[in-house]
Structure 1
Amino acid sequence: MRFSGFPVRRTARLCGGGLVLAIVTALTGCSSLWGGGGSKPVPADLGANVAVLGVRQAWTARVGGLAGMPMEVHSAGSVVTLASADGVVAAIDARTGGDVWRTSLGEPLSAGLGADGNTAAVVSRANVLVVLDAGRERWRHSLGAQVFTPPLVAGGRVFVLSADRSVSAFDAASGRKLWTQQRPGEALVLRQAGVLRPVGDTLVVGLSGRLVGLNPDNGSVRWEAPLASPRGTNDVERLVELVGRTSREGDSICARAFQASVGCVNPVRGTVSWTQPASGAEGIHGDAEAVFGTESNGAVIAWRRVDGSRLWATDRLKYRKLTAPLLLGRSVVVGDDTGLVHLLSRTDGAPLNRLSTDGSGIGAAPVVAGDTLVVVTRNGNIFGFRPD
């Protein structure tokens, strides 16, 4: 069976209930990712914006706010589908910014949305999987644990990765559970979207610091490839998670291990091609030539896909909290926590343009739908940008 999906990403929560013990929130101290217990360093002034690449705002739309929910935006053709923390689910025409359909579930959500262009799936904070068809509820199913990773809708099935490290498959039409794969769970997991995506006829899942290839028909393990290993002496220090988005090109899938490494795996053989140390909390993106990522200190780095050697790094956005990147043509697109969208040269990281939104911070990794760059802010405003 071969099934298709869409590239994936949202941010880590390490403080204020961001680490969860299977289902129960763990109470833990938290030191600054910037180093030490002082205030966050002030980002450098960006200077005047010199628009080397012409881009204009084409439209705006709105969904609900994020309120801490790990947000994912899915694109299929010219339609983007997304959900808000308060349970609004919408499909937006990226050509106009108008609704294709919109519905309110009337209950808060814990994870972003998964979709395949027809079917959409979300998970509520009450641990209920809800599946929609063109905005109309098709079925729902109670789950045994919290979910922070958007469900995957592919091949006529809905796949769910839960916080207890279980993976379940459901028939998308009927809601019948097909199988569950349960793995031993570490004490802590991130309240952040992980890795769950199709690669050819294999379901690829991030479990702890490993990419794991599962048979989508029955959940059996085909291969495991470690990208990071636990370190340290306590549960917090030993936390290892893979975070989306990922980058897949041919026989190469690349992913980030939270605050540990970036690496690529051959999903046919299930072998690790390379890993490099990296201190980021967001997913990556790329193409056949390069892989791009943002570090927790605001640096943006490019690695050569074939061997992981560093191509370039820039600290122009240092001390800004950045989203996972989107490689779009000649640009690497990232959003920051002030609501700015930065277009950097894929060749050397030089600035190409800077776009403004509503100032509330970019809440999800940018996506492209047709010829439109789509970004969503923490306040739930959606912006469509197009080249001049």
Structure 2
Amino acid sequence: MRLTPWTGRHRRPVLLVLLALLLPGAAWAEPTVLWRFASGDPALVPILADQSGLVAAGRRSWGLDGEGRRLWQTDLPSPAHFRPRPGRLDGRPVVLIAGREGLALIDRGDGRVLWQEAPEREFGAPTVAGDRLLVGDENRLEVRALSDGQVLWTHTLGRGVIHYPPLVRDGVVYLGGGDRHLRAFRLADGKPLWAHDMSHPWTYLRRLDPGPDQGPIVAGAYEDALLGLDPATGAILWDHRSGNFINSFLVAQGRVHFWSPRGWMVALSATSGELLWRTRTHRFGRDGRADWSMVMAAPVRIGDHLAVLDMAGTVHLLDPAGGDERAAVRLPFPARPFLAPLANGDVIAADTAGTIHRLRLPSGAD
């Protein structure tokens, strides 16, 4: 048998692998699983987690306490497609479960369905604001009473479909439907206030965030852009182009955090749009760290970290002030694309079989 000489041509790939293992990078860590709840529903939407407990929804809905004990289970008139929205009626907590084929308001104490409504065509993602519910039904904006679902006022677009939730800020409704306009209405009675033409360049607004106090509205657009909009007129105050599709973003402590498929986590000033930092997530072997997978989940704040779940089931913990990656936490299950942070720093995640997990992530200090 002829042996191949050990040459520089053979040594180089091996040395590169060894060098990659020795180069500094984020610490790999495992989370602590505190409890599990098996819903058996593989179609769970993002989970609501707040001071009243947890609400999970998919084909059914469940209320859980903070220790994972089931408080109630409710059969839904139609499957949920959007995160449950919390609200209050006469001082008691309620939750709106919404899907494209129906709305259901549920008492969070016992899971009773208080009322339910079907769309004329198809519901979009809803907004709960005080005693009002706002939702698109195809091209019609409906503002309903949260107490009984009755329609209080409507506005119909000449074209376009209202897929995304309207924004309510300081008594004003902002709607970025698919008609190339940002529109503002008075919440109390639906009086139109103004309409800003955003067709040059054509801009379809996906998500509206109230942004910082007394500052611009933050909007995500289909054209790979994040925008800061004047709440008084809809005019664009700042415009950041990522060069690729922005799936979702988080506004927290005056910053806008998002992931760009070009391979960066980015933080902007929510007030000015100024680039504060960016961290490369796809390094292509340049420094020995593993590339992230694609990111579909919205970034969240967990304790002192910015947490980003990628499609490979890894939670990346970043310093929100500077963007440095402190730890990469591998989840011990294939995960649904969302995280729900808890006030004490724990996090709720779900796997693709429908089991809900409460996790404690490492500090990332190492």
Smaller-chain TM-score bracket: 0.7 to 0.9
Report the count of equivalent residues.
Answer: 323
- In the TM superposition, what are the counterparts of 1:110-129 in structure 2 within 5 Å? 110-116=81-87, 118-125=93-100, 127-129=101-103
For structure 1, the residue ranges without an aligned partner over 5 or more in a row are: 1-43, 232-239
Q: SS at 1:167's partner residue?
A: strand
2:174 counterpart letter in structure 1: V
Q: Residue 266 and residue 355 in structure 1: after superposition, are their counterparts in 2 closer, same or farther (change >3 A)?
A: same
Taking the aligned partners of 2:347 and 2:184, their CA distance within structure 1 comes to 31
Could you say which residue in structure 2 is the equivalent of 1:104? 75
Q: Is the 8 A contact 1:243 1:281 kept in 2?
A: no
2:107 to 116, 133, 145: 133
- In the TM superposition, what are the counterparts of 1:129-208 in structure 2 within 5 Å? 129-134=103-108, 135-149=111-125, 151-162=126-137, 164-186=138-160, 194-208=164-178
Q: SS at 1:109's partner residue?
A: coil
> Are 1:254 and 2:218 matched, yes or no?
yes
Percent sequence identity over aligned pairs: 20
TM-score, with normalisation over the residues of structure 2? 0.75
Taking the aligned partners of 2:143 and 2:337, their CA distance within structure 1 comes to 28
> Are 1:214 and 2:179 matched, yes or no?
no
Could you say which residue in structure 2 is the equivalent of 1:29? none
Q: Is the 8 A contact 2:226 2:241 kept in 1?
A: yes
Q: Residue 271 and residue 309 in structure 1: after superposition, are their counterparts in 2 closer, same or farther (change >3 A)?
A: same
Taking the aligned partners of 2:248 and 2:221, their CA distance within structure 1 comes to 9
Taking the aligned partners of 1:92 and 1:206, their CA distance within structure 2 comes to 34
Taking the aligned partners of 1:369 and 1:227, their CA distance within structure 2 comes to 38
CA displacement, residues 255-290 of structure 1 (integer Å, 9 cap, x when unaligned): 211242001224355443211112234221122432
1:50 to 27, 35, 38: 27
1:216 counterpart letter in structure 2: L
Q: SS at 1:303's partner residue?
A: strand
Q: Is the 8 A contact 1:202 1:214 kept in 2?
A: yes
Larger RCO: Structure 1 or Structure 2 (Cα < 8 Å, ≥ 6 residues apart)? 1
1:307 to 251, 272, 280: 272
Which has the larger Rg? 2
CA displacement, residues 96-116 of structure 1 (integer Å, 9 cap, x when unaligned): 233343312264334442222
Q: Residue 223 and residue 332 in structure 1: after superposition, are their counterparts in 2 closer, same or farther (change >3 A)?
A: farther
- In the TM superposition, what are the counterparts of 1:300-339 in structure 2 within 5 Å? 300-316=265-281, 320-322=293-295, 323-339=297-313
Query: Per-residue deviation at 1:174?
Result: 2.2
Could you say which residue in structure 2 is the equivalent of 1:370? 343
Taking the aligned partners of 1:384 and 1:247, their CA distance within structure 2 comes to 29
Could you say which residue in structure 1 is the equivalent of 2:324? 350
Query: Per-residue deviation at 1:298?
Result: 4.5
Q: Which has more helix, going by share of residues?
A: 2
Taking the aligned partners of 1:380 and 1:156, their CA distance within structure 2 comes to 32
Q: SS at 2:27's partner residue?
A: coil
Q: Residue 170 and residue 324 in structure 1: after superposition, are their counterparts in 2 closer, same or farther (change >3 A)?
A: same
For structure 2, the residue ranges without an aligned partner over 5 or more in a row are: 1-19, 283-290
Query: Per-residue deviation at 1:324?
Result: 1.7
Q: Is the 8 A contact 2:167 2:208 kept in 1?
A: no
Query: Per-residue deviation at 1:203?
Result: 2.7
Please give the root-mean-square deviation of Cα atoms over the aligned residues, in Å.
3.3
Taking the aligned partners of 1:161 and 1:107, their CA distance within structure 2 comes to 17
Q: Residue 170 and residue 335 in structure 1: after superposition, are their counterparts in 2 closer, same or farther (change >3 A)?
A: same
Q: SS at 2:213's partner residue?
A: coil
> Are 1:276 and 2:246 matched, yes or no?
no
Taking the aligned partners of 1:381 and 1:245, their CA distance within structure 2 comes to 31
Q: Residue 294 and residue 250 in structure 1: after superposition, are their counterparts in 2 closer, same or farther (change >3 A)?
A: same
